[in-house]
Amino acid sequence: MGNNIKELLEELKNLSELMLDLAYSAVFFENKEIAKEVLLLYERLEDIEEDLYMHLFAVGKKMSPRLISVIELVETSKDVALAAKNIAEMVIDGKSLHPVIKQALSEADESIVMVKVRKSSILSNRTLGDVKLRSNTGIDVIAIRRDKRWIFDPQKNTRIKPGDVLICIGTVESCQKAKKIASGKLKEI
């Protein structure tokens, strides 16, 4: 199968994972703006899905096991994205999750934290690639709020500025470390 199909599958998978992370963040922080972004990402995911099926059916003359596996992957990613969309819609509609679900989210192995980058932080005016947060700490920055706008799925060349608010995902320990790094209390990673 062609390179386009591989790239589209990778984008579909990454997008569905980002949507789920953002949906949980929207619930955790009760943030409708993040929830609305999930809905916009869902529209993008539907476009990718359509492109993928066009490519798949153009190259696949018969339903081979390989083609069926790819279709299953597309459908699984779409299911994850739909779940994220449903969660986001609950936040937008002002519906609250059952307290047991909120507690389960807060007790999960993975934690979510929102941290503000201080001028004295080692993150200030450096790119994500420069500081290598993911490899050095296990922290994954999934979004950055800068002034009144959001940067979703920031890349390694994304520069962190003082005053940025980062949404990070990682273990409880790595999220605690993120707070110390962003506040300037921890001077080394």
pLDDT, tens only, 91-127: 999 987 777 877 776 677 778 889 999 999 999 999 9
Q: Could you tell me the pTM of the whole model? A: 0.75
Average pLDDT over residues 9-19: 92
Of 93, 70, 88, give the one whose Cα is nearest residue 9. Answer: 70
pLDDT of residue 60: 65
Asked if residue 144 lies in contact with residue 115, where contact means CB atoms within 8 angstroms, the answer is no
Q: Is the pLDDT of residue 168 over 70?
A: yes
Mean pLDDT of the chain: 88
Crossing angle of helices 32-59/65-92, nearest 10°?
Answer: 160
Residue 64 φ/ψ, nearest 5 degrees = -80, 160
Q: What one-letter code names the amino acid at 136?
A: N
Q: Is the pLDDT of residue 61 over 80?
A: no
pLDDT of residue 70: 84
Mean pLDDT lowest for which of 23-37, 129-143, 156-170? 23-37
Pairing of strands 149-152, 140-146: antiparallel
Average pLDDT over residues 65-77: 87
pLDDT of residue 1: 45
